[in-house]
Amino acid sequence: MATMVMQSLGCDVAAINTVQFSNHLGYGQVKGTRTNSSEVIEIWKGLKDLHLDDFQILLSGYLPDPQSVDAMAVIGQELRAKSKKSPGRFFWIVDPIMGDNGKLYVSESMVPAYKSVLQNTDLILPNHFEAETLSGVKIDDEDTLKLAISIFHSRFAIPHILITSLVLKHRDEESSFLYVAGSSMTSSKTPRIFIIKIPRIDCQFSGTGDMFGALILVRLREAVHKSPGLENAPNWLSNDDVPSVDLPLAKAAEKAAASIHEILYRSKARQDVETATYQKKIGSENEIPDGKTESKKQRWTKAKAAEVQIVRNLRVLKEPAETFKADPL
């Protein structure tokens, strides 16, 4: 999904697939293979041998094991070394995909693996649970959110942080909204935090993190290039006097959130129609399956109906409405 989104917005992309799966995991079962770390490095070596390694941005998504994290780190560090004499020439984004809703869905060994590479990255994109897991802070309100972000800046020296799918107490109508919060640190590693309030859509989608990462990459680069000279600044960090809501990261998050929310809203509408159609078809079958088979079929129906409708909504990717505005925190 990430590759298609970036290409739709004009990026030249060289993708190294970490899995070759028949479908996403939302269906509850899958066929296919994982790309092991040695294969990732072999592909990377092939690109280098042909001098096809002049990349400006590295975005990593799902990685199946700690060895794959190490392989990703090798690529990132080599690209960083190549750009040493040209600050801003290379930007590294990591989506530390590990879990959601309070639990890991990867091995616990992935946590220290990700922690070991964070200090070399420019931007990380954890969800609520992943931010808690990496920072060691239970995030349930604005104060703990500020603490977690401060730790990412001060302890891990991560220049930019953007946390998605936040659920925060003590905010109006929190059950009906999710939040995205981000920060670009100052020269003294002080946070500059902004927050965006987004209406919750009652549906479980797969792949939204990949879409968000791709959109942030494109929109952040776009916003950076609108700030004179910033593309040549180390880590794309704005001057200390730039307030949080005027940061390129905030502008990128506003646009990315607008695109994703509208696409998911339209996907949910289509899901409702498809679910009703499938339910009618299943109900008319002569053979009544046992409880276990019926449960699986219901899950497959919901998963298929909840596929994110990106191709039908490319204009929403390219021309997002000004739906959301970042507020300072």
Annotate 179-242 with DSSP letters as a single string: EEEEEE--TT----EEEEEEE--SS--SSHHHHHHHHHHHHHHHHHHTSTTGGGSGGGPPPTTS
Nearby residues of 265 by Cβ (< 8 Å), 6 or more positions away: 201
Encode pLDDT of 278-316 as tens digits.
777 766 554 445 555 556 777 787 788 788 888 888 999
Please compute Rg for the chain using Cα positions: 20
Return the structure tokens found at 206: 């797969």
What angle, 0 to 180 degrees and rounded to 10, lies between the N-to-C axes of helices 66-82 and 37-49?
20
- pLDDT (average), residues 3-23: 93
- pLDDT value at position 205? 82
Encode pLDDT of 137-176 as tens digits.
999 999 999 999 999 999 999 999 999 999 998 665 557 8
Sequence letter at residue 205: F
| H helix count then E strand count, the chain | 10, 11
- pLDDT value at position 318? 93
* 249, 184 contact by CB (below 8 A): yes
Return the structure tokens found at 131: 């931010």
Encode pLDDT of 88-135 as tens digits.
999 999 999 999 989 998 999 999 999 999 999 999 999 999 999 999
Q: Whole-number mean pLDDT of the chain?
A: 91
Which domains does the chain possess? 2-260 (3.40.1190.20)
Its pTM stands at 0.91
Our CA dihedral for 242, 198, 316, 266, rounded to 10 degrees, sits at 180
